[in-house]
Amino acid sequence: MFEQQLINGLTLGMIYALIAVGYTMVYGVIQLINFAHGEIFMLSAFLAVTFITVFGLPIYVVIFMTMGCCALIGVMLDIFAYRPLRQSPRLAALITAIGMSIFLQNLAMIIWGSRPRPFVQEALPAFLRTPALSFGEATVSWLQLTIFGTASLLMIILFLIINKTRVGTAMRALSQNRTGAALMGINVNRVISFTFALGSSMGAVAGIMVAIYYNTLYPTMGYVAGVKAFAAAVLGGIGSVPGAMIGGIILGIAEALGAGYISSLYRDGIAYAVMIAVIIFRPSGILGKSTVEKV
């Protein structure tokens, strides 16, 4: 049972990590907790189902289309909701983020209804539900393996974008000194848009994965996943991308083990407990910046 929970937790953790990087990157560049990030994740699931059912597109095309749409939604969210408040007190943007989260949830309810619906399983290859590997009693399904592989690949790509490309370096520069970055000719708003696009497209993949994994989607699904991914980001150290990845995985495993050994009723509570513990004992998180900087 331990091995099985570990496998389930790892799968879940990879998904949390994909969402968490979106929170942490946006926080890094504009010091805003983008509460509407969970809704982008939710919209992704609905958009994917819509693309499959309405246009009859194959799943792998749908994933790319959804990533693109969510990237666009993320960028719009920033341009219309957050950008006008860039010079305002942070609380104003934070409240706007909560407002946008509620707005998008309700928008989804109006468009798709509030009842949970299953994912279009017919669109998926049947082998996904069959075991791929087994260790003793524990098995890893093809779906889990696919989620794990896709998420790992995306994290590697993300890592390379952030650390090896010009725009990624600009993102990091911006998060370390905005005026300094602007003075180098970095178009700050464009880099912020890029950050939203990147985070939202990662969240989009996670949204589709969750909808498939649990075989359900509903307008408030972004809330729970969002809180957990946010907890993961805080655990890893908000603003740190590797931290968000590690935080997501730890949280996923903790949740699976907690649900398995204590009670599945505590599943969602574990994220809150972790977040509170981090805030009390190590507010900067696992990889949070606590380095001394010379002025």
Partner 1 sequence: MLRLEDVHTYYGNIHAIKGLSLRVDQGEIVTLIGSNGAGKSTTLMTISGIIRPRTGKIFFQEEEITGALTDRIVKLGITQVPEGRMIFPRLTVYENLLMGAYLRKDRKGIKMDEEHAFELFPILKERRKQAGGTLSGGEQQMLAIARALMARPRLLLLDEPSLGLAPIVVENIFEVISQINSGGTTILLVEQNAQMALQVAHKGYVLETGRIIMQGPSRELMENPKIQSAYLGID
Where does this chain bind partner 1 (CB under 8 A)? 166, 169-170, 172-173, 176-177, 179-187, 289, 291, 293-295
Q: State the DSSP code for 228.
A: H
252, containing H or E segment: helix 241-261
- Find, among 279, 246, 264, the residue nearest to 13 by Cα: 246
Give the shortest CB-291-to-partner 1 separation in angstroms.
7
* Residues with Cβ within 8 Å of residue 8, at least 6 apart in sequence: 144, 256, 260
Handedness of CA 191, 193, 195, 198 (dihedral sign): negative
191, containing H or E segment: helix 188-213
Give the shortest CB-248-to-partner 1 separation in angstroms.
22
Give the shortest CB-192-to-partner 1 separation in angstroms.
14
Give 282 or 289: the residue with its C-beta nearer to partner 1: 289
Give the shortest CB-289-to-partner 1 separation in angstroms.
7
Give 139 or 176: the residue with its C-beta nearer to partner 1: 176
Give the shortest CB-179-to-partner 1 separation in angstroms.
6
156, containing H or E segment: helix 142-164
Give 87 or 137: the residue with its C-beta nearer to partner 1: 87
Give 91 or 183: the residue with its C-beta nearer to partner 1: 183
Give 226 or 285: the residue with its C-beta nearer to partner 1: 285
SS3 label, residue 135 = strand
131, containing H or E segment: strand 131-135
Q: How many residues does the chain have?
A: 295
